[in-house]
């Protein structure tokens, strides 16, 4: 079965630096790979989606890359701010049943 | 946009009672909604897929008689935790997919259930 691995340890980044989060999966590549932000006690919020035939996607300070050879996606936040502190979840949309397979998330802490 | 409203945000109930959680899509019709459960510092665990007008599809290990799901309209799905016990205490989140959209799913704000 498909498994997703995200850095389980919290990631501490100095404000203004680029934060890079990793999402690795084990089996066949998904049709879509998605990144969400989750704040404590709240539901996830969709950030970006990248298709399997895309290498990179950008949205303001966010950038996502997708390497189907490495079975890996990287999520970058440039010019990071303390308000970017949250847990970031990677999710794979596999097939026509529209279910998402979730990583456990990486907690990002941006220090002022 | 796509907005999903979930209520209540927090609920405390006594052991043995039932609790109903509502999930509404406010500005779109959701033929499919998903119910998740999340424990602290863990990933979202899919409990069931709710389809309008038909029975929900439950994931392996989820008791369908305990977690009753009703998706009676295109904008409302409900999850009822029956005969709740302390081990049912968790964070429950619903999400909906806008039809014909492969884009990100929209999530409710979640319900923190505490069974005492």
B2: how many CB neighbours lie within 10 A of its CB?
Answer: 17
When CB atoms are compared, the residue of A41, A49, A104 closest to B43 is: A104
Rounded CA-CA distance A34/A26 in Å is 16
Residues of chain A numbered 12-31 and touching chain B (CB < 8 Å): 31
pLDDT, tens digit only, all 112 positions of chain A: 778 899 878 999 999 999 999 999 987 777 789 999 999 999 999 999 998 889 999 999 999 999 989 999 999 999 999 999 999 999 998 765 667 889 999 999 999 9
CB atoms closer than 10 angstroms to residue A27: 12
Identify all chain A residues contacting B25, using CB atoms and an 8 Å cutoff.
Answer: none
- The DSSP line for A28-57 is SPPSEEEEEEE-TTS--EEEEEEETT-SEE
- Contact, B76 vs B96, CB < 8 A? no
Burial A50-66 (b: 16+ CB within 10 A, else e): beeeeeebeeeebbbbb
Cβ-defined contact of B110 to A41 (cutoff 8 Å): yes
Q: Which of A31, A46, A102 sits opposite B44 (nearest CB)?
A: A102
Range of weakest confidence among A26-35, B4-13, B94-103: B94-103
- Asked if the Cβ–Cβ distance from B105 to A49 is below 8 Å, we say no
Coil/strand/helix, residue A83: helix
Q: Do B43 and A36 touch (CB under 8 A)?
A: no
Tell me which chain B residues have a C-beta less than 8 angstroms from the C-beta of A104. 41-43
* B81 touches B19 (CB < 8 A): yes
Buried b (16+ CB within 10 A) or exposed e, B9-30: eebebeeeeebebbbbbeebeb
Q: What are phi and psi of B84, to 5 degrees?
A: -65, 145
- Residues of chain B in contact with residue A103, where contact means CB-CB under 8 angstroms, are 43
- Sign of the four-CA dihedral A41, A43, A45, A49: positive
Contact of A33 with chain B, judged by CB distance below 8 Å, is answered with no
The number of residues making up chain A comes to 112
* 8 Å CB contact of B34 and A99: yes
- Lookup result for tokens 């049709």: A31
CB-CB contact of B5 with B111 (8 Å): no
What number of C-beta contacts closer than 8 Å exist between A and B?
53
3-state secondary structure of B87: helix
Over the stretch B22-56, which tens digit does the pLDDT of each residue have? 999 998 888 889 999 999 888 899 999 988 888 89
Q: How confident is the model at residue B101 (pLDDT cuts 50, 70, 90)?
A: low
A43 touches chain B (CB under 8 A): yes
């Amino acid at each position: 079965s498909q498994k997703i691995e995200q850095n389980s340890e919290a990631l501490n980044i100095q404000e203004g630096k680029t934060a890079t989060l990793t999402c690795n999966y084990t089996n066949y590549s998904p049709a879509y790979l998605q990144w969400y932000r989750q704040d404590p006690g709240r539901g996830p919020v969709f950030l970006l989606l990248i298709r399997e035939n895309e290498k990179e996607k950008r949205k303001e300070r966010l950038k996502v890359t997708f390497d189907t050879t490495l079975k890996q996606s990287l999520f970058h936040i440039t010019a990071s701010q303390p308000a970017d502190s949250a847990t970031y979840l990677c999710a794979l949309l596999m097939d026509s049943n529209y279910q998402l397979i979730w990583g456990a998330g990486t907690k990002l802490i941006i220090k002022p | 946009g796509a907005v999903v409203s979930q209520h209540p945000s927090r609920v405390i109930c006594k052991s043995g009672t039932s609790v109903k959680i509502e999930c509404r899509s406010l500005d779109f019709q959701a033929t499919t909604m998903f119910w998740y459960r999340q424990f602290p510092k863990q990933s979202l665990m899919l409990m069931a897929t709710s389809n309008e007008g038909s029975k929900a599809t439950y994931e392996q290990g989820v008791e369908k008689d305990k977690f009753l799901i009703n998706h009676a309209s295109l904008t409302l799905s409900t999850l009822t935790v029956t005969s709740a016990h302390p081990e049912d205490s968790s964070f429950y989140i619903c999400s909906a997919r806008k039809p014909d959209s492969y884009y990100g799913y929209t999530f409710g704000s979640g319900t923190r259930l505490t069974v005492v």
